[in-house]
Chains A and B, each alone.
Chain A
């Protein structure tokens, strides 16, 4: 059972544009929602994360929007740059003792120069 659904699978954006990636979850026990960026040959690196007590979090050009009632959250990359070209994963975790991350399927972002 896929608990975190991510879309789109791939995204092409012009330099300077806005990249938007969406995720939806099913498990209402999730209370931690990070986004990871992965370059080829590297492990995922944490970009930004949010907890359900806020609706938006911004760090530089990256913003997470969170809709608890809809069980959806999204990543917005403002002023997208070619260096942002990577695979992005949303994830979710619970406060339970295990606290494992459940990942979305990933979005391959290409920012054209």
Chain B
């Protein structure tokens, strides 16, 4: 399965600022996703990062708040803009691949964000 490097692993940010999270994959992947995991909660899909086009956002998430880039098949960034304490969460990058008709989804170790 793919190996994902996610940076930073954690950060403490002031409200009103922005943080960009990087996701680097060791192989080319078609499917790339960004999730949010609030403390003690499940994972919620923010958006699907599409190579060469705008990301596809889930209900409740908008591009102005969570702009995403995906310049190639191995890299993506998620920016959390104009942060408030409610944005304190773990943000996870995930990639998917289809191997022999089985789907394999791999997750990065996450970015633990605290907004003060």
A49 & B103 in contact (Cβ 8 Å cutoff): yes
The listed residue (A36, A43, A98, A100) touching B110 by CB distance below 8 A is A43
With A98-B56, A100-B48 already in contact, the answer to whether A32 and B103 are too (CB < 8 A) is yes
B42 & A103 in contact (Cβ 8 Å cutoff): yes
What residue of chain A has the Cβ atom nearest to residue B4's Cβ? A43
Q: Mark A87-99, 1 if CB is under 8 A from B, else 0.
A: 0010001000011
What residue of chain B has the Cβ atom nearest to residue A95's Cβ? B103
Check B89 for interface membership: any CB of A closer than 8 A. Answer: no
Residues in A neighbouring B107, C-beta threshold 8 A:
36, 43-45
The listed residue (B4, B45, B106) touching A46 by CB distance below 8 A is B106
| Contact residues on B (Cβ < 8 Å of other chain), bracket | 20 to 34
Give CA–CA (A36, B110) in the complex, Å.
15
Give CA–CA (A91, B6) in the complex, Å.
22
B42 & A105 in contact (Cβ 8 Å cutoff): yes
The total of interchain contacts (Cβ-Cβ below 8 angstroms) comes to: 54
Interface of A is mostly: loop
A98 & B42 in contact (Cβ 8 Å cutoff): no
Check B92 for interface membership: any CB of A closer than 8 A. Answer: yes
What residue of chain B has the Cβ atom nearest to residue A102's Cβ? B45
Q: Which 4 A-B pairs have the closest CB atoms?
A: A43-B107, A103-B43, A103-B42, A43-B109
Selected A-B contacts with CB under 8 Å, 20 pairs: A32-B103, A41-B112, A43-B6, A43-B108, A44-B43, A44-B107, A49-B102, A89-B42, A89-B43, A93-B103, A98-B48, A98-B56, A99-B96, A99-B103, A100-B33, A101-B94, A101-B105, A102-B45, A103-B42, A103-B43
Interface set of A (CB-CB < 8 Å, partner B):
32, 34, 36, 41-46, 49, 51, 89, 93, 98-106
